[in-house]
Structure 1
Amino acid sequence: MSRSRTRVATASVALAMLLLSACGSQLAPGDVVAAGGTTGGGGVVVGADGQPVVTGDDGMPVTTGTDPGTTSGGDTSGGDTGSDSGPGPQDGSDPGPEEGPDGPPVKAGSCDGFKNGPGITDTTITIGNSSDISGPVPGLFESAQDATKAFVAYFNKSNPDGICGRTLVLKNYDSRTDDPTDQRNHVDACENVFAMVGSMSAFDSGGAAVTEECGLPDLRSAGVTGARQKCATCFGAQSTIAGEVNNVVADHVLKNFPDAAQNAASLYINAGAAAENGQLQPKAMTKRGMRFTVVRGIEVSEFNYAPYVQQLKDEGVGYVQITGAIPQFVRLAQAMTQQGYDPDVFMIDPTAYEPDFISQGGKDVEGVTIYMNFVPFEEASSSPETKLYLDWLQATKPGATPDFFGVFSWSAARLFVETAAKLGGDLNRASLVDAIRKTDNWTANGLHAPQRVGPKHTGECFRLIQVKGGKFVPLGSTKYTCNGITTVS
């Protein structure tokens, strides 16, 4: 069999849970605090430079561009918890956040009739971000918060007039991988921020109800739980709905590996959303014309993958996919090498698109293929928006690693400012939500494949990359393929 390992895993709705599973966490949402976590507070207000902003008794910023001052809520854990050391931007220089590259100016509507409201003063518009920074997996979605902060810095520099004369201010919250904390953060946000932007949490259902009840716009990197996806004022820049499966991967296998398509295997980590998606995906791919002879769960605590590989060999499986995270992807690849098993196709989702996958997997992951719905960072020279994200991420947090979740948090921030600016004097929470509901085929200036943000349907377009020579390289066209969706339950 060829070493063309093409791998399918899970829709991003499950990815947060998979990362927790990969680290051995079996905590229920309510167990996080009891296991040593802490509850969330009022968040931290930061300016474009990532530093705390002076706030008044009402938690609103007193002014911008001042020296670091007090924070609302007294909770400093929600701020920038990462290191500010490391390499600078891609050109080798080390600009501060006020010296990054400019992008295209945001088109604005008339500001006639503009009124202040929750999170809006005469000089600022405060947005919030609630992402998992602490918890069982420290820094789980810190990249989402980093990307949002980077966009705020970029926007304030590139658009000195702001939105109707108001500068963006970001209030960071730590959701701590915990439903009750997510709820508390959004209770605070209802009163103190205009909209939530770029958030990413493994347990995001806690604040879903209160977010909808107070009419708080919530433009997330992605919605993970059903409660958040159903929230009427909540939207994911990456539009993913459980049970809606993109057809691109199945069609790729059916066309290029017809024999493997009729003897396929889906392995999944037997925990949370991983188990659900590990079974839903083969159902959809079967409807598309594939045939799965092995659909099997793997316990989180299992480290010996040899029996699973032996079953694949005994069944003569030619296509393998696994729903999990990088440690499990690598573990299975290593077991395959050890047993001399080389399927035609071994497919993985975009969570594998990280340096750690190659550094941990080495030669065992050579030939693995990954499906993608955003521009690979290696191709940033052909995508101005990708380059903006990468450059401003380094400008605001030197040494930060860009990733899948950061891409869509940047996208959420882009969607927010473009929509808010166009509304101009008509901007309020209700008008923003209404405008987002009408947003379809959103690409964030070509940063990623079209996403059905407003209608809330899974995006239909993917492309493929492959590991060759220890690098991620395109497989086939660098353009997206869009083959529709198969729905299963």
Structure 2
Amino acid sequence: MSQPRGRRTTLLPVLVLLLVGVLAACGSRIHPETVAQLEGGSVAVPGQAEGGTAAGAVGGDTTGTPGSSPLPGAPGAVPEAGAPLAETDRTGGGETGSDGGATAPTGENAAGGGGAAGGCEGFANQTGITDTTITIANASDISGPVPGLFQAGQDAVRAYAAYFNATSDVCGRKLEVLQLDSRTDAAADQLAYTKACDEAFAAVGSMSAFDSGGAATAQGCGLPDLRAAAASLERSRCATCFGALSLKANEFENAVPDWVMANYPDAAKKAAYVWINAGAVPANANYQADAMEKRGLDFIIRQGIDISEFNYAPYVQELKDAGVEYVQFLGSSSHSVRMAQAMQQQGYKPDLFMMSQPMYEQGYISQAGEAAEGTHIFITHVPFEEASTNPEVSLYLAWLQQASPGAEPTSYGLFAWSAARLFVEQATALGGKLTRPALIASLKQVKDWTANDAHGPQNVGAKRTGECWRFIKVEGGRWTAAGARDYSCRGTTVVPE
């Protein structure tokens, strides 16, 4: 069943085209305010006053919502009782003052970034900017084969805009979010970006599995497109497009193979890479396997599985027969559940079962049950279970729940939040010099971006894969740290396209 190591050089990154089949369809959810139709108009941030001026905290109320998380940065917000966020609690938390009320974060965690603001002299209204608002667009896959595929990214941008509008402004302007649906379709992505070009100053936190469609459109109109991540080679090559999660398909972090070699040296020599045949996944899996072999691993099996395949038993049997001790899997959360359960049913337990960042979901554990035990994932951000150790991640969780109650945090949601923060910090610093060309020029200089240590350093301007990663695993039915909680930063390896 092993397949040749063929390439698909026209498709890029990584971890995004995992719309395969039903991604986390079980956890997919469309926010009632965000049944975003492509033809639809601007959707103001919750709490926005009629006429487009943001009125304050989410929902137009700064007193907090009964049963909700406290909102750092929302004046008068009522904190929940109890200790700071504990492990496995993903609802977020906030700082509290001596009087028991929530305090607005200051310094780097402030909504505006806490840095020096540029002077507002000369600030000019332009496309997407009025006397009172700056419109940012978010074009993400909301409808399509997997409803709500990248809803988390749009929710995160709405959440950050609400946080910002409650406490800050850019030269008197509040943020307004133009919510667009790229519909898991390249043509729809192109149409969404045509609308963004005409109505928004910039696009922020977008995430689409087929984002090649809007790449030329964004570049053609000079639209700054600060995405959660780029999903296609075309998008990565777009001169006005950047990712808060910086990725390059044929560049892989050394931290992963080095960790495997150090902790599972025997298994590293009997490795298999298994992936789902969809979009860029086969190309990315082979890029990663090539890079890891340069660091000492030996993939004796490279195997793709069709999306429509439900019987994974023959594939697992092949791994058993070959004596594979390390299995690396690239697909969706639902497909990884299928793989884990097939291994359990076949009585096959390799020394190490590893998955990549997009499969870090609570739904994987709840669906796979005992079969999930021992699963490892490499990630480049603070796990949500450790949010109490990082004020920025805690802010994301708290404001996400206020903007979209019941929403599950995701890795791409966190990077969409990160993109929104980076946009705000750049716009604030530019002040009266804020224009589309000035923002693009400034983004090209951004390196080692961490969103206040919410994630590992990202090469936003250079558009290269970040080198710092860490590891988590399923233990006792929950995500826990695998070894040190520090990032391992060991450079990257580039392989031929």
Aligned pair in 2 of structure 1 residues 164, 486: CA closer, same or farther (>3 Å)? same
Q: CA RMSD in A?
A: 2.6
Change (3 A) 1:222 1:334: same
Aligned to 2:145: 136
Partner of 2:456: 449
2:302 partner amino acid: V
| Closer, same or farther: CA 12–117 of 1 in aligned 2, 3 Å | same
Percent of residue pairs bearing the same amino acid type: 50
Match of 1:208?
A: 215
Instruction: Show CA shifts across 1:280-335 (max 9, x none).
Output: 21111111111111011111111111111111111111110111111211111111
- Could you say which residue in structure 1 is the equivalent of 2:247? 240
CA distance in 2, matches of 1:408, 1:53: 30
Stretches of structure 1 lacking an aligned partner (at least 5 in a row)? 1-10, 26-36, 55-60, 67-84
Relative to the length of structure 2, the TM-score reads 0.84
Q: Which residue of 2 aligns with 1:89?
A: 69
Asked if 1 retains the 8 angstrom alpha-carbon contact of 2:20 and 2:331, the reply is no
Cα deviation for residue 271 of structure 1 reads 2.1
User: What residue number does 1:102 align with?
Assistant: 104
- CA shift in 2, pair 1:23/1:122, >3 Å: closer
Within the candidate set 353, 358, 368, 1:361 is matched to: 368
Rounded to whole Å, the distance in 2 between the matches of 1:305 and 1:86 is 46
Counterpart secondary structure, 1:17: coil
Q: Is the Cα–Cα contact under 8 Å of residues 47 and 53 in structure 1 kept in the other structure?
A: no
Q: 1:318 to 1:442 in 2, by over 3 A?
A: same
**Cα deviation per residue 1:23-81 (whole Å; 9 max; x = unaligned)?**
699xxxxxxxxxxx9972144331343x6954xxxxxx4x4449xxxxxxxxxxxxxxx
Q: Structure 1 residues 278 and 467, CA, compared in 2 at 3 Å: closer, same or farther? A: same
Alignment partners' CA distance in 1, 2:381 and 2:46: 26
The equivalent residue for 2:135 is: 126
- C-alpha distance in structure 2 between counterparts of 1:140 and 1:373, whole Å: 21
Give TM-score, length-normalised by structure 1.
0.85
Query: Aligned ranges for residues 84-233 of structure 1 at < 5 Å?
Result: 88-89=68-69, 92=80, 102-104=104-106, 105=110, 106=112, 107=115, 108-159=117-168, 162-233=169-240
Q: Deviations over 1:180-205 (max 9, x none)?
A: 11111111111211100111111111
Verify: 1:381 aligned to 2:388, yes or no. yes
Q: Is the 8 A contact 2:376 2:474 kept in 1?
A: yes
State the match for 1:437 in structure 2.
444
Structure 2, unmatched stretches of 5+, are 1-10, 26-34, 57-64, 71-78, 82-90, 93-100
Number of the residue aligned with 1:474: 481
C-alpha distance in structure 2 between counterparts of 1:237 and 1:289, whole Å = 30
Amino acid paired to 2:160: F
Equivalent in 38, 42, 57 of residue 44 of structure 1? 42
Q: What residue is the counterpart of 1:340 in the other structure?
A: 347
Distance 1:20 1:372 in 2: 20
Give the aligned residue type for 1:89. S
SS of corresponding position for 1:15? coil
- Which whole-Å CA distance do the structure 1 matches of 2:282 and 2:171 have between them? 47
Conserved 8 A contact 1:22-1:324: no
Find the residue that maps to 1:346 and give its secondary structure: strand
Contact conserved, 1:16 with 1:202, CA < 8 A, in 2?
A: yes
Per-residue deviation, residues 9-30 of structure 1 (Å, max 9, x unmatched): xx993333222344699xxxxx
Structure 1 pair 86–176 and aligned structure 2 pair: CA distance change class (3 A): farther
Q: Secondary structure at the match of 1:19?
A: coil
Cα offset for 1:179? 1.3
Q: Please give the secondary structure, in 2, of the residue aligned with 1:18.
A: coil
Q: Which residue does 2:399 correspond to in 1?
A: 392
Residues 411, 282 of structure 1: alpha-carbon distance in 2 compared, 3 angstrom cutoff: same
Within 1, Cα distance between the matches of 2:458 and 2:308?
Answer: 35
In 2, distance between residues paired with 1:427 and 1:24? 39
